[in-house]
A and B are shown apart, each in its own frame.
Chain A
Amino acid sequence: AQKVTQAQTEISVVEKEDVTLDCVYETRDTTYYLFWYKQPPSGELVFLIRRNSFDEQNEISGRYSWNFQKSTSSFNFTITASQVVDSAVYFCALSEGMDSSYKLIFGSGTRLLVRP
């Protein structure tokens, strides 16, 4: 069965520290898609990145980077030089290729607190 696990419920760092948010997924599909969403205190869900199962290239976007490793079923997210504005709940999500609705299966989220 499909599942997304974010074992870190809450992380607290001081501004400018680097922080990595872990995501481990389970799926029987060979084609699947992984996502990260950010939920700031205002409550909306903001799309950050999408990765498909055939593309294991890591990606860097400014201070954000993502490490996708199929061998360990992980899709980790690193914020470099964290800022107070990065404080939010971050959700990892999975969409399976055989699922005709392409629904998102979310992890339980990691709350990141960046202290000044």
Chain B
Amino acid sequence: EPEVTQTPSHQVTQMGQEVILRCVPISNHLYFYWYRQILGQKVEFLVSFYNNEISEKSEIFDDQFSVERPDGSNFTLKIRSTKLEDSAMYFCASSEIPPYQPQHFGDGTRLSIL
């Protein structure tokens, strides 16, 4: 069964550094999402992406964050200057036709900021 793939599984970065989290959504899916989960807390929406543009972003998704779909397959989340509070698990999700089809999640990237 096709799945969403995220790399790396764990990223350790010094505070202030830029980090790029990568995702390969399921190939025929059209809607893409990033969520984050701070340890022990609920999953929070960051941004949605459709038709090569952001369709919605949350308050968390400030100017330090950006997303790109640079080729036909990858979907990336960039954090320009990381802060300690960016430490979390970041999940990529994709869906063919939400909400009729569910969002399928990748295994997540654990981001640790030192």
Listed in ascending order, the chain A residues whose CB lies under 8 Å from chain B are 33, 35, 37, 42-47, 50, 52, 91, 93, 95, 97, 99-109
Question: Is there an interface contact between A45 and B102, defined as CB atoms closer than 8 Å?
Answer: no
Task: List 10 A-B pairs, minimum CB-CB distance, nearest first.
Answer: A102-B98, A101-B56, A101-B48, A45-B105, A33-B99, A95-B99, A106-B43, A101-B55, A108-B42, A103-B45
Q: Does B33 contact A (CB under 8 A)?
A: yes
Q: How large is the interface on B (under 10, 10 to 19, 20 to 34, 35 or more residues)?
A: 20 to 34
Majority secondary structure of chain B interface residues (helix, strand, loop or mixed): strand
- The closest CB in chain B to the CB of A50 belongs to B102
Listed in ascending order, the chain B residues whose CB lies under 8 Å from chain A are 31, 33, 35, 41-45, 48, 50, 55-56, 89, 91, 93, 95, 98-99, 102-108, 110
- The closest CB in chain A to the CB of B44 belongs to A106
